[in-house]
Structure 1
Amino acid sequence: MTRQVIIEPVDRPRLSAEQVRQVAAAHPAVLAHLETADADRLVLGEALALTHDPDEGAPFRASVFDPVSNRGVELRGTLDRPEKAEVVPSAYRPNPDARELRAAAEILRADERFPAGDDVVVYQPMPPLADLENTDGTTVRRPTLGVYAPSGDVKHRIVAVDPVARTVDWSPAGVSVAMHPDHPDDCESRLPAPVESLRDRGGPDAVRLRVLDGGTELWNLIVVRPRASAPQNPGDGSGVELREVRYRGRLVFRQAHVPILNVQYEEDGVTFRDWQNEETRFTANGADPVGWGWRICDRSPKTILERPDNDAGNFQGVAFHDDDGEVRIVSEIAAGWYRYVSEWRLADDGTIRPRFGFAGVRNPRTCMRHRHHVYWRFDFDIEGSDNDVIEQLDETGPGTTTATQIVREVARRRRRPARFWQVTDKASGRGYRIVPGEHDNTADPYGIADLWFLRRRGTELYDGNPDEDNRAMLDRFVNGESVSGTNVVVWYAGHFRHDQNAPHPHQGHIVGPDLVPVT
């Protein structure tokens, strides 16, 4: 038999966005708190089950947000009886979705101050919102938009749009595009994609991937595309998410993804928490066996890291490519002017290579030195949950290491004598070794740490991001619980310094560890 890469759509226990809307519309506590009677204007997403092995009665949480009152609540209930859900006030404010951005762009283009010219591009910048606080304590939701006018006196502006009042603030407080004498020009050659150009063309949220070689099934897993990746509501996705990962029939991960992605600028201290659910275009050629958004490629896909100087392509979603004994799972995502490559590489020998790449489009901000911090979350279930062991392998001599079991939750840095870490099943001894990548670096004070070893809790999918500086708040999960013979989660951080004046070689724009089988 020939080698096969097979994808099939899958469904997951959930409430659809429309079902959540119906629950919210019929729940008097929701409408009372949001001070609205118009359920059609609410912003919400799907409600996914929280448990490891969900059934129809699994618990869920779902955020419901009203962009007019700029208020939100969280529904907490079970999938079989959503109408009984508890309603809890929420401080979570979702980023503007495509519909909201297109409406804001229409208001912006109608403004008398909008620059003339066919070469003007309206794009989504950072930060995504510039809300205005009123004296009475209420706030006005204002999506931001970038205006790129290459023939104008000012090439880039960031404005804030009030969709209710239909007004534009051309100098929103606290928002800067760093247009000053030290940074007069753009640092990227790629033009940003206009907000109107990126539209979701549908297709399944998730597929089951099977890799067979000579009739033997090597890999069997669920792949979730960025637009539907967890965490959502609250949370802003995690790039390409893997679930129920099995190698040669043995369970490896229950879930693997990147829930946290941060940027910090060295010169002025500005920070961002980037979203990872906005799929953007890259080049991928091949067939779409399950519909739009999923492509099996006949040649290697090209993201912004490989293609010519533009922010374009023929595909949005997740691409698969069988590359000489290793299947690549690739997507490109956008967050303002940043472009990220979310990738997983599954080798025939069982090695898993998570990878994350960094790039950007034309803007002055990336002229400034900044650091990216990417945080993978690996929910290991080696041959099943509740029986895993974590060990740290220290270098004790040339070519020799000594293993020490980690028995309590802890955060660690990648520094000698520590060389590797591994998670194994307590009974069989099988598992995976975490080998740090060559370009992963180690954390600065803003990055906090490099690894966290935790007992799995369904409520610890997202750090909540409560502080203004957006840093990863994973230390709040470290409370001394046992991780010996339990169900464990490992968070792994990669750190990349981006300096246009000291460019790295191409591979320097990609970080990620190797996860090597232990047999």
Structure 2
Amino acid sequence: MFSLFRHARILLAVAALLTLGTPGPASAAPRPSAAAPSCDNADRIDKTLKNGARWQMCWDIDRNTGVMLSDVTYTPNRGTPTRVLKSASLAEVHVPYDSGQPRFYDVSAIGFGDLDLGTLTKLSKDDCPTGKLWNYRNAPVMCSQEQPRPFAYKSAVEKSVLHGTDLVVFSVSEIGWYDYIMEWHFSDDGAIAPRAGATGTLSPFQFTDATSGWPTGVGSKRFSENHMHNVFWRLDFDVDGQSKNVVEQYDYRGSGTAKRTAKRTVLTHETGADLAPSRFWRVVNPTALNDDGHPKSWEIDDHESDQYRGPSDTEEFTHHDVYLTTYRACERLAYGNTAPACAPSVDRYANGEKLTDPVAWVSVDYHHVPRDEDQDPMPTHWQGFRIVPRDVTATSRLP
């Protein structure tokens, strides 16, 4: 649970900095057209994993969103490079309490990447024991390291087993009593898994309302209040480095029947979409074909969300699990967007414009009901999603 005092202190500090001229959310820079990572070597991650797969990307720090990745390119083992994402970042962490108040907006109101405010945490080798620490303003704030991934595959027919690896890029931000570990997993099979881990300290403040909390003190008189962690990510797709990307929704219908039918829907205009059984989305480039002649795509797999829906008058941006919009430089945050001449939240971005150059805004919601075991140190609870390659290679390139 968050400390109201610490949040208030941070918000006052932010207000003071803004008064002194500290910039708010900045508009994104013009999009470079280079297919390869366009940054200097000091800001470029280039890692070949154990099986020969390679990930390349640029990185930077934004005061609101923390680590921002760009020009994300995947080269399969024995394959050719394929651009996946033009940019990727956090877009909001919304924390409403079950009692109705408070309701925090940790990215837009506080910021995950502010070294001056102390929200962006300096890392040490204890945080990054086998990897590389990356500096921002002479402070180590990001780690990249190769981590094992058990059972990339196992085949009884071929009598073989392979354990894979991921390139993991992460930073840590201290917001209130929480330490948020913001990870990006880049797998040797081409999957990307953003996830947020919340750990740190359970707030010492106690409530007395059993309807919106859980007893964490002696007996059943003091309660820690339940709350949500609604995390939004922003993925600017650029499959194979071209602007001809199309978004498709697939539904496999049939409940209580022996036969199932597939329905493919091309999403031609900006929209909000919801999770449903046997539903997924993919961003496909019809002009980029694998060796079998099938178009390359990445599939959005987001099925581990508690699907929070807030009040219609103030939190309409929470009313869908995925938003799909056309790229606009000023549309950076899911909520509290202050870029000039731009809409304030993602639900307003999705206004029915023709969907070209698609950006996916993915929400994963977690309902935190505190327990005795959460009392210091609080074990990390994780939430996230995956995008996985679909037909990027004609056969498996794991071995």
Q: TM-score, normalised by structure 2?
A: 0.65
Residues 518 and 269 of structure 1, relative CA distance in 2, 3 Å threshold: same
Opposite residue 271 of structure 1, the aligned amino acid is R
Q: What's 1:178 paired with? A: none
User: How far apart are residue 503 of structure 1 and its match?
Assistant: 7.1
1:368 and 2:203 are equivalent in the alignment: no
Shift of 1:512: 1.2
d(CA) in 1 for partners of 2:52, 2:272: 39
Q: Are residue 223 (structure 1) and residue 59 (structure 2) matched?
A: yes
Residue 69 of structure 2 aligns with which residue? 242
Give the distance between the partners of 2:371 and 2:271, measured in 1 at CA.
Answer: 37
Check 1:351–1:266 CA distance in 2 against 1; reply closer, same or farther (3 A cut): same
Deviation at 1:388, TM superposition (A): 0.7
C-alpha displacement of 1:205: 12
**In 2: Cα distance, 1:326 partner to 1:287 partner:** 13
Q: Report the residue type matching 2:299 in the other structure.
A: R
Pick from 363, 368, 390 the counterpart of residue 493 of structure 1.
363
Quote the Cα distance in structure 1 between the aligned partners of 2:349 and 2:321.
Answer: 15
Q: Which residue identity is paired with 1:482?
A: K
Q: Is the 8 A contact 1:437 1:514 kept in 2?
A: no
Instruction: Provide the C-alpha distance between the structure 2 equivalents of 1:258 and 1:360, rounded to a whole number of angstroms.
Output: 20
Q: Do the aligned partners of 1:279 and 1:316 also contact (CA within 8 Å) in 2?
A: no
Is the 8 Å Cα contact of residues 496 and 511 (structure 1) preserved in structure 2?
Answer: yes
The CA deviation string for residues 335-377 of structure 1, in whole angstroms up to 9 with x for no partner, is 1222211001111111111111122425235821110111000
Does the 8 Å CA contact 1:245/1:253 hold for their aligned counterparts? Answer: yes
What are the residue-to-residue correspondences of 1:375-414 with 2, within 5 Å? 375-397=232-254, 401-414=262-275
Seen in structure 2, the aligned counterparts of structure 1 residues 496 and 287 have a Cα distance that, compared at 3 Å, is closer
Q: Is the 8 A contact 2:132 2:144 kept in 1?
A: no
Q: CA deviation at 1:448?
A: 2.2
Aligned to 2:151: none
| Residue identity in the other structure for 2:276 | R
Confirm or deny: 8 A CA contact 1:207 1:223 kept in the other structure. Answer: yes
Which residue does the alignment assign to 1:419?
Answer: 279
Specify the alignment match of 2:11 in structure 1: none
Cα separation, 1, equivalents of 2:364 and 2:134: 33
Matched AA of 1:254: K
1:463-511 CA distance string (max 9 Å, x none): 56289xxxx831111121111xx2110100010111114879x998211
The 1:206/1:496 distance shift into structure 2, 3 A limit, reads: farther
Q: How far apart, in 2, do the equivalents of 1:518 and 1:329 lie?
A: 23
Distance 1:364 1:268 in 2: 19
Q: Which has the larger radius of gyration?
A: 1
Instruction: Report the counterpart of residue 210 of structure 1 in structure 2.
Output: 46
Contact 1:430 1:518 in 2 (8 A): yes
- Mapped to 1, the partners of 2:93 and 2:143 lie a distance apart of 22
Name 1:350's counterpart in structure 2.
190
Which whole-Å deviations, capped at 9, do the CAs of 1:415-474 have from their partners, x for residues lacking one?
A: 23x521110112122110011143x2213235322100111111211356289xxxx831
2:336 corresponding residue in structure 1: 465
Listed one character per residue, the Cα deviations across residues 223-258 of structure 1 (whole Å, up to 9, x for unaligned) are: 23xxx22xx4xxx2x233211000112111010111
Contact 1:421 1:435 in 2 (8 A): yes
Q: CA deviation at 1:399?
A: 7.5
Q: Distance in 2 between matches of 1:45 and 1:399?
A: 50
Are residue 43 (structure 1) and residue 17 (structure 2) matched? Answer: no
Cα RMSD of the aligned pairs, angstroms, is 3.5
* Contact 2:131–2:145 (8 Å) recurs in 1: no
- The CA distance in 1 between the partners of 2:181 and 2:133, in whole Å, is 22
2:299 is matched with: 433
Aligned counterpart in structure 1 of residue 145 of structure 2, from 321, 328, 336: 321
Task: Indicate the residue corresponding to 2:388 in structure 1.
Answer: 516
Change (3 A) 1:385 1:479: farther
* 2:303 equivalent to 1:443: no
Gaps of at least 5 residues in structure 1 are 1-39, 56-203, 295-314
Corresponding position: 1:280 with 2:127: no
**Deviation string for 1:303-339 (max 9, x for gaps)?**
xxxxxxxxxxxx9511122113211112211112222
Q: Identity percentage over the alignment?
A: 25
Q: Is the 8 A contact 2:232 2:334 kept in 1?
A: no
Structure 1 48/456 Cα, relative in aligned 2: closer, same or farther at 3 Å?
closer
- Separation of aligned partners in 2, 1:320 and 1:415: 34
Could you tell me which amino acid in structure 1 is paired with residue 362 of structure 2?
A: Y
User: CA shift at 1:44, angstroms?
Assistant: 4.2
Give the equivalent residue in structure 2 for 1:340.
Answer: 180
Change (3 A) 1:517 1:334: same
Q: Structure 2: how far apart are the matches of 1:379 and 1:515?
A: 12
Per-residue CA deviations over 1:256-302 (Å, capped at 9, x if unaligned) read: 111211100111421011021122256324488686469xxxxxxxx
Q: Number of paired residues?
A: 295
- Asked whether the equivalents of residues 49 and 146 of structure 2 are also in contact (C-alpha less than 8 Å), the reply is no
Asked if 2 retains the 8 angstrom alpha-carbon contact of 1:340 and 1:358, the reply is: yes
Deviation per CA, 1:392-416, whole angstroms, max 9, x where unpaired? Answer: 1112247864321111111012123
Q: What CA distance in whole angstroms lies between the structure 2 residues aligned with 1:326 and 1:349? A: 9
Between the aligned partners of 2:261 and 2:103, the Cα distance in structure 1 is 41
Cα distance change, pair 285–368 in 1 and its aligned pair in 2 (3 A): same
Higher RCO (Cα < 8 Å, 6 or more apart):
2
Structure 2 equivalent of residue 121 of structure 1: none
- What is the letter of the counterpart of residue 45 of structure 2? L
| Structure 2 CA distance for aligned equivalents of residues 450 and 273 of structure 1 | 17
Q: Which runs of 5+ in 2 are unaligned?
A: 1-18, 35-39, 76-80, 114-118, 149-164, 207-223, 289-294, 339-343, 392-399
The one-letter code sitting in structure 2 at the alignment partner of 1:513 is F
* Contact map agreement 1:266 1:370 (CA 8 A) in 2: yes
Amino acid at match of 2:282: Q
SS in 2 for 1:449: coil
Q: Would the alpha carbon gap of residues 42 and 477 (structure 1) be closer, same or farther in structure 2, given more than 3 Å must change?
A: closer
